[in-house]
Structure 1
Amino acid sequence: MFSDYSTAELVSIFAMQGFAGLILFSVFVLMALGLAIIFGQMGVINMAHGEFMILGAYVTYLISNLFSEYMPALFGIYFFIAMIAAFFTAGALGAFVEWAMIRHLYKRPLDTLLATWGLSLIMQQLYRTVFGAREVGVSLPDWLMGSIPMTDTIDIPINGLFVMGLTIVISVSVYLLMFKSRWGGQVRAVVQNRPMAGAVGINTEKSDRMTFALGCAIAGVAGSAFTMIGSTGPTAGQLYIVDTFLVVVFGGAQSLLGTIASAFTISQAQSTMEFFLSGSMAKVLTLLVVVGILMLRPQGLFALKIRH
């Protein structure tokens, strides 16, 4: 596999594929952050998480067309508006889903899994009805196009750097929100002891709703980032849900650092192997390695230590 390339060529290939995997890494991190918040803090397996990502992608697509048609002079800033709109749209729908369905299924993981899987099918059909079955693409502003040359053979994509910066900002914000804010303390108190949290005045139902909404909102932002690497279609979210669960479980469901490290490892491995192998084989090899590691360390890379 490597014998056909010189050492310099291999270094360039690994560097280029590594930078090319920045957006995939960012999508994995944003998707996994949302899923880790919902699964790690609430114990809810949200099989419709990919559809919330695609909701953010469709919102980005609509705003792109809106600016292109009616405000072409402001087209360069539409992506920031689209990310904010995707965040609040997916978050609002997430809050509604928690109120209408999820809150009735707590402590029933199998029922929750089946219900959210049914929700994913409903959302896919709605997307197909509203936007059609064909995939749609988003036009990026000029400042997100092109790359920065590092050497004669290595270029860094500008959109990859932008999404990486966005991912860092959101990851730090989630950390501060979950571990340094009063609301984050209330969420963790509800997770550890719901009856006691309610007894000291914490609104546990509101905490659950806001937690689920936040996880879905972050998935909406992941959808905006997704528009940079692929076309948006009704079933596109299902292509990433398995990888996202893999990232969360591999990193440790309640570990923010583990989620980021796991996303980086898996995205870079897939991006590099896809250059030498087919995309399907790259996924298979990545899955086999992760499963092998989880057999040795089932709690994930960065499991939280809990005192008994």
Structure 2
Amino acid sequence: MESLSEFGAILLMQGFNGLSVFSVLLLMALGLALIFGQMGVINMAHGEFLAVGAYTTYLLATLVQTYAPAFAPYYFLFAVVAAFVVAFALGWLVEWAMIRHLYRRPLDTLLATWGLSLVMQQSLRSIFGPREVSPEMPEWLMGSWQPTEGVDIPINGLFVMALTFLMTAGLILALFRSTWGLHVRATVQNRAMSGAVGIDTRRVDRVTFALGCGIAGIAGAAFTTIGATGPTSGSLYIVETFLTVVFGGAASLLGTVASAFLIAQTQSVSEFFMTGSMAKVLTLTGIVIILMLRPQGLFSIKTRK
């Protein structure tokens, strides 16, 4: 009976670890759902915006430790905002300089953003070095919460989950309860008609792309609480992020949330019974099989034929 209780506790903790992975994956997928799902842009450099957000957090932590150590307990909240601002500004610049010339040319966009990802990786490597870095977390993010005996839930995981919930709710409200969201949905459904009624579709595209990159920057700040950051950290998530968006339904935020949860939990629980690589193979195989049976994903947007 005691061994069964220990097994249940371990399984519960493994499931919570899956929720931590789910949170970072969902933040990445939300940004990509805007860029790929709403705009149809295949952004292979999306993972590098996660790295930009993570390095922004690391840089701010280093500056605080050097010049304002008394501010250390509070810096992380400002780092999340800074990661969003830096990634948003960089996304705005990338859309203006490159992406706006490649709309409705998916293959060219794929190749161009893949090249951009390599440039960004090398730039991060040149600035911060090839080694992985990790910012020092404030004390209130350390430690764990013990709801029952034998179950320890990390505080940083709870924080990341809360941040993910707020971002998801905010994005859904922005898309369905704001003028910007109305313009985005109108542009997606009929770009020519949206332009005819006075919507600045180019501005909508630029803000949407930059916002998707900014959300990836927040994912990078959240990532620093659960792992070290290197120049290629973001690229490790890009395949899973694309699969999450496609599996859930390219234009469905609800589908993105559901698919991120299923992928993260399946992989995390599977890792308890097998190696990490085999768990990932099992998860991806299941996704491929489901997509073969349902190519439109878990949730599809109804459109007129």
TM-score (norm 1): 0.96
Correspondent of 2:170 among 154, 173, 176: 173
CA distance in 2, matches of 1:300, 1:11: 32
- Structure-1 residue corresponding to 2:139: 142
Deviations 1:78-118 (A, max 9, x none): 11110100001000000110010001000000000000000
Judged with a 3 Å threshold, the aligned counterparts in structure 2 of structure 1 residues 302 and 140 are, in CA distance, closer, same or farther, namely: same
CA distance in 1, matches of 2:294, 2:20: 28
Matched, 1:40 2:37: yes
Deviations 1:112-137 (A, max 9, x none): 00000000000000001000111111
Matched, 1:293 2:286: no
Tell me the amino acid that sits aligned with residue 90 of structure 1: A
Matched, 1:90 2:103: no
CA distance in 1, matches of 2:32, 2:227: 21
**What's the Cα RMSD here?**
1.1
CA distance in 2, matches of 1:163, 1:233: 20
- Structure-1 residue corresponding to 2:202: 205
Compute the displacement of 1:305 (Å).
1.9
Compute the displacement of 1:6 (Å).
4.3
Tell me the amino acid that sits aligned with residue 286 of structure 2: V
Larger mean Cα displacement after TM superposition, 298-307 or 209-218: 298-307
CA distance in 2, matches of 1:139, 1:252: 37
Count of residue correspondences: 304
- Runs (5+) with no aligned partner, structure 2: none
Correspondent of 1:19 among 16, 19, 24: 16
Tell me the amino acid that sits aligned with residue 166 of structure 2: V
- Structure-1 residue corresponding to 2:263: 266
Deviations 1:209-243 (A, max 9, x none): 00000000000000001111211111111110011
Query: Is the contact between residue 145 and residue 159 of structure 1 (CA under 8 Å) also seen in structure 2?
Result: yes
Q: How does 1:1-308 map to 2 (within 5 A)?
A: 6-308=3-305
CA distance in 1, matches of 2:158, 2:273: 24
Query: Is the contact between residue 91 and residue 217 of structure 1 (CA under 8 Å) also seen in structure 2?
Result: yes
Compute the displacement of 1:14 (Å).
1.6
What SS is found at the alignment partner of 1:150? strand
What SS is found at the alignment partner of 2:148? coil
Deviations 1:48-67 (A, max 9, x none): 00000000000000011111
Paired-residue identity, %: 65
Query: Is the contact between residue 21 and residue 271 of structure 1 (CA under 8 Å) also seen in structure 2?
Result: yes
Tell me the amino acid that sits aligned with residue 48 of structure 2: E
CA distance in 2, matches of 1:13, 1:131: 37
Judged with a 3 Å threshold, the aligned counterparts in structure 2 of structure 1 residues 292 and 7 are, in CA distance, closer, same or farther, namely: farther
Query: Is the contact between residue 156 and residue 226 of structure 2 (CA under 8 Å) also seen in structure 1?
Result: no
Larger mean Cα displacement after TM superposition, 271-280 or 232-241: 271-280
Compute the displacement of 1:307 (Å).
3.5
Judged with a 3 Å threshold, the aligned counterparts in structure 2 of structure 1 residues 203 and 138 are, in CA distance, closer, same or farther, namely: same
